[in-house]
Amino acid sequence: MNANIEPFLMRLNEVLDPERSSKAIERQKNACLFRRSDRLPVAFVLDEVPGWERIKLDEAYACPELMLLNELRPIYGSALVGDDRANTIRANFGVGILPSLFGCEIRLTHDAMPWVEPLNSREAVARIVSAGAPDLRGGLWARIEDFQEFAIAQLADFPALRSGIRLSMCDMQGPFSIAHLVWGNDIYYAVVDDPDLVRDFLELITDVYIRFVRQEREATRADEEFTEFLNVLVPGKILIREDSATNLSPAMYEEFCLPFIQKTLDAFPGGVHYCGAGHQFFELVAGCRNLTAMNFGNPEMQRPERIRSLAARGIAVVGWGLWPLDPPLDELETGISLGVSVHDVEEGKRIMDQVASRG
């Protein structure tokens, strides 16, 4: 399927203000590095973007033009609000990118992100471990590379888009989340009754993950000081996603997750993201070497005093999703960036005014 995307590119080129975007990135960087700005940076995700309908996710997955339209839609919405979004697009093929290297099939359903068909077999996992690292250019890589090249070529003829929008890295998840996606839910039993196989699998995955990150950083010409996560900047070179680990006990996390997160952070200083509460391993993550930032998919589940404590350790909180800030987070004047979901442009502008009046 081909779509005429030029009218959308022209419209976005007209509203994207390079000077405002430059100031927004400076605010984001200042927050990451604990420097003061005129106000905290705030970036929005709008449910409704006037004149730019969201493409169904399964349709966007199948068509590069439609995927690019979906990637540019939130940038257009933020331009109308005038927020501090880091204007990035990515090859949005979902959580199955690394699992596809290990032979997992990707399943599409109506208007939903693609999902992974797990192997659900310890014997299959053992065969993967015995075979060693897969071809990093296998699986979904060709489609990722094609989309990235296509997107850059499409933006090239529009000055504001060419200079004001960056290509960010695709969703590479993190070691334990990849292992869970490939293996299936049986991995939660295997950490008890087959721990050696779990560790061997995680060693392999982590090595492949680090090499794949290098490959994708080169392909996207990634910045050396900051990486991007959707609409915010992250200090460092990576944001590790470890959602599946929230189901583990503290002891299990320390044994089966922490060493592999640390190995990754030693290769690429950066941040860690997880959804869920994660209270049982918060301190373990916060104590990692080379950890620069944390992002929380469910900020409403977090304890504000704990989040506040990260600032004292020089760990930034990026993309915090709740406004207004609860005590004691309301004490922070830097070290935190906001990434808030709103209904429409008007709601975004109201919150922008509130953030600006706070200073």
pLDDT digits 0-9 by tens, 306-333:
999 999 999 999 999 999 999 999 999 9
CATH number for the domain that contains residue 151:
3.20.20.210
In a domain, 327, yes or no: yes
Classify residue 126: in a domain, yes or no.
yes
For residue 223, being part of any structural domain is answered with yes
Report yes or no on 343 lying in a domain.
yes
User: Is 145 a residue whose pLDDT tops 80?
Assistant: yes
Is 158 a domain residue?
yes
Please, what's the b/e burial string for 324-343 (b: 16 or more CB within 10 A of its CB; e: otherwise)? ebeeebeebebbbbbbbebe
Give a yes or no: residue 162 inside a domain: yes
Share of the chain above pLDDT 90, in %: 98
Sign of the Cα torsion 252, 242, 336, 235 reads positive
Q: How high is the pLDDT of residue 3? A: 81
Among candidates 57, 169, 168, which has minimal Cα distance to 106? 57
What residues contact residue 202 under an 8 Å CB cut-off, 6+ apart?
A: 175, 176, 179, 256, 260
Is the pLDDT confidence value at 237 over 80?
yes
pLDDT for res 285: 98
For residue 284, the tally of other CB atoms under 10 A from its CB is 16
62 pLDDT higher than 80: yes
Report the number of distinct structural domains present in the chain: 1
Average pLDDT, the chain: 97
pTM metric for this prediction: 0.97
Note down the domain range covering 185: 6-358
1 — pLDDT class (breaks 50, 70, 90): low
- Helix 141-155 vs helix 64-81: angle between axes, to the nearest 10 degrees? 50
Q: Are 308 and 330 within 8 A, CB to CB?
A: no
* pLDDT tier at 359, thresholds 50, 70, 90: confident
The verdict on residue 1 lying in a domain is: no
Instruction: Give mean pLDDT, residues 83-101.
Output: 97
Q: In the prediction, which pLDDT does 2 show?
A: 67
In a domain, 196, yes or no: yes
